[in-house]
Amino acid sequence: MDLEPLVAAALDAGRAIMDVYAGPIAAEAKADGSPVTEADARAEAIILAALAACAPVVPVCAEEAVSAGTVPSRARRFFLVDPLDGTREFIGRNGEFTVNIALVEDRAPVAGIVYAPALGLLFAGGPQGAWRAEVADGRVSSRTPIAVRKAPGRLVAIGSRSHGSPETAEWLARFPVERFVSKGSSLKFCLVAAGEADLYPRFGRTMEWDTAAGDAVLRAAGGGVATLDGRPLLYDKRDQAADVDFANPFFVAYGDPALARNILPSAAASA
């Protein structure tokens, strides 16, 4: 999959988001209690149109469409879209929100774009590796390859700014964590991918569109995402006995695979 159409779609969606960000922000609550804004709808419409143009036969599972009852049939290859990840960060105007576009094949994310329009940062990952770029005036101005780092003796952990949990602190207490960084949206995956953090444990609700793009970037950079039993996080999860379609279990995103072998069951080594 050529990443350039996905990059262009993310940039266009980001412009629409920033247009809304520049004025008063009105939010409504969806059925699950999560907030949604006009920016979510505008960005998703732009992305859906772009994907229909560049990959018309590939189904798209998009957050707001699914919320409205439009769910694609199962497919070996499909897109997962979160048009505005970190809506609470968007409403709070801290800049830590992202546009997420991912391509999933055989239940694994193989390509992803994470764009933070307010920060002017874009992360991408695919079969050719991972990179980050600065974005100025809606245009990519530079691209730098990124890769996970070898885990140091004292770890840097990263976690949710808006959805922290006591379970996260309790789990991290078992390991030599020197510093904990709070970030919003899928930027957490990207900072692990860029070697700026080592671990991102998530003991709270996420959906597949929240994680797929960041997961793809991290995997392309040499890291991985595993459930607490050490198995790779899978996508297109439906008919789950204990949760709704597309809901994720708790997971740990990691940079250095050797670190994963030390903190998770041995199956994580194959993630």
137 known member of a binding site: no
229 known member of a binding site: no
The pair phi, psi for residue 12, each rounded to 5°, is -65, -40
89 known member of a binding site: no
Q: What is the DSSP letter of 56?
A: T
Cβ atoms of 161 and 183 closer than 8 Å: yes
87 known member of a binding site: yes
The total number of residues written for the chain in this structure? 271
245 known member of a binding site: no
Cα(256)–Cα(166) distance, rounded to whole angstroms?
25
Structure tokens at 187: 């930027």
170 known member of a binding site: no
Helices (H) and strands (E) in the chain — how many of each?
8, 14
Q: Would you put residue 23 in left (φ > 0), alpha (ψ -120 to 50) or beta?
A: beta
Bridge partners of residue 179, in order along the sequence: 156
Q: Residue 162: how many CB atoms within 10 A of its CB? A: 16
Cβ atoms of 184 and 88 closer than 8 Å: yes
119 known member of a binding site: no
Residue among 229, 224, 226, 212 at smallest CA distance from 257:
224
Cβ atoms of 99 and 8 closer than 8 Å: no
Cα(216)–Cα(52) distance, rounded to whole angstroms?
21
The pair phi, psi for residue 33, each rounded to 5°, is 90, -10
Position 20: which residue type? V
Residues annotated as binding site for substrate?
Answer: 63, 84-87, 210
Residues annotated as binding site for Mg(2+)?
Answer: 63, 82, 84-85, 210
Residues annotated as binding site?
Answer: 63, 82, 84-87, 210
